Amino acid sequence: MKLIETQITGTGSYVPRRILTNADLENMVDTSDEWIRARTGIKERRIADKNEAASDLAYKASIKAMEAAKVTSEELDMIIVATITPDMIFPATACILQEKLGARKIVGFDLEAACSGFLYALSIGSQFIATGMYNTILIVAAETLSRITDWKDRNTCVLFADGAGAAILRPSHGSSRIISSYLGADGSGADLVKVPAGGSRLPASIETVKNRQHYMKMKGNELFKKAVKMMAQTIEISLDKGNLTTNDINLFIPHQANIRIIKAVTKRVGLSMDKTWINLDRYGNLSAASIAVALDEAIRKKRIKRGDKILFTTFGGGITCGSILLEW
């Protein structure tokens, strides 16, 4: 059976209106604008309103993606939502989003791969297109990380923020297509970034709340080293699978976690920072939504044109990783 190639026909994104600057954080924890910029490259980040959940951000990004792709809710066959901050443990945020969109009786499920979520969703969605099982798939990455951020921990609260990005996947009838993809995981690093409590291992209790175990915990130095190594490896694998080199890449969109990580990765694989899309200075780390928001922003600012080769790479809690190469 000949597999059908997949293309992205439209993208959309949404970030909340509230801006939390480094100066604001100086009044909340023992930190400084200079320290945050030097360590992370972040200047400000967006924070969801108290009434905004992941599905609300996902809905706004999805509407924009559907408009860009000229797709209606009746045409959707599947919804995949990548998130580590779902509206609730269950039902799936994808099902809540399905109802908001009025997309009745279609497949919907959540995917949890932390910061790698959007690339995992893109790769998984493309498999359903490839086999001809589905024709039109909405993938969304939506995060409200401010809800699981410990605002007393200066090592993590400066990093994370809220936002959502979406894309419509459909069969390719031309050169626009996913060229290659690679996904990976290394469970030996599962302890490096996590939310310890709230699952079956440590159900919510008075003790877990007192110990602030429902917030993200991160071993930054160890994670940094693994991130650089894994991102570089995934890039090499996806380029090799696509029979391309870094010289063929028109735009590199990495996970927007930390400017030092991005610079280290580009140096290791021989990519130019001039070809690298950076928006973490304005949005911080959006986890699964990071690449999705960056892609939509690059498209709307006309940084991407037809025929361009786009390279994505990411890493996230798990540790998960991935890289996807596509022709726009």
User: What's the pLDDT tens digit per position in 156-179?
Assistant: 999 999 999 999 999 998 889 999
Q: Which amino acid is at 292?
A: A
| Alpha-carbon gap, residue 277 to 290, rounded angstroms | 11
User: Are 182 and 63 in the same domain?
Assistant: no
109 and 187 co-located in one domain: no
Please tell me the predicted confidence (pLDDT) of residue 138: 98
Statement to judge: residues 154 and 15 lie in one domain: yes
Mean pLDDT of 114-119: 98
Same domain? For 104 and 191 the reply is no
Amino acid code (one letter) for 228: V
Reply yes or no on whether the pLDDT at 1 is more than 80.
Answer: no
Residue at which a domain ends, from 121, 153, 174:
174
Which domain-ending residue is among 125, 150, 174? 174
Q: Tell me, yes or no, whether 216 lies in a domain.
A: yes
In a domain, 45, yes or no: yes
Dihedral (Cα; 128, 131, 136, 139), 10-degree rounding: 20
| Spatial separation of the C-alpha atoms in residues 259 and 41, rounded to whole Å | 5
Interval 39-66 mean pLDDT: 97
Q: 173 catalytic, yes or no? A: no
Please list the alpha-helical segments (H only) found in 163-319: 206-210, 220-241, 259-269, 280-283, 289-300
CA–CA separation, 286 vs 261, rounded Å? 15
90-114: burial string, b at 16+ Cβ within 10 Å, e else: eebbbbbbbebbebeebbbebbbbb
Same-domain status, 29 and 166: yes
Residue 235 sits in a domain of what CATH number? Answer: 3.40.47.10
The number of beta carbons lying within 10 Å of the beta carbon of residue 28 is 13
Alpha carbon distance, N-terminus to C-terminus of the chain:
25
Residue 174's pLDDT is 86
Q: Residue 13 forms beta bridges with which residues?
A: 165
Given 22, 95, 157, 255, the catalytic residue: 255
Say if residue 257 is in the same domain as residue 315.
Answer: yes
Average pLDDT over residues 80-92: 97
DSSP 3: P
- Position 173 scores a pLDDT of 87
**Among the options 22, 95, 157, 285, which is catalytic?**
285
Catalytic residue among 95, 115, 157, 321: 115
Q: Is 285 a catalytic residue?
A: yes
Considering the domain architecture, whether residues 192 and 313 belong to the same structural domain is answered as: yes
Q: What is the pLDDT of residues 274-324, one digit of tens each?
A: 999 999 999 999 999 999 999 999 999 999 999 999 999 999 999 999 999
Mean pLDDT of 189-212: 96
Q: Has 115 been annotated as catalytic? A: yes
* pLDDT at position 90: 96
Number of domains in the chain: 2
- 15 and 159 part of one domain: yes
Residues 6+ positions from 127 with CB-CB distance below 8 Å: none
pLDDT at 104: 86
Structural domain of 217: 178-278+285-327
Confidence of residue 2 (pLDDT cuts 50, 70, 90): confident
Same domain for 10 and 154, yes or no, is: yes
CA 246 to CA 102: how far, in whole Å?
Answer: 42
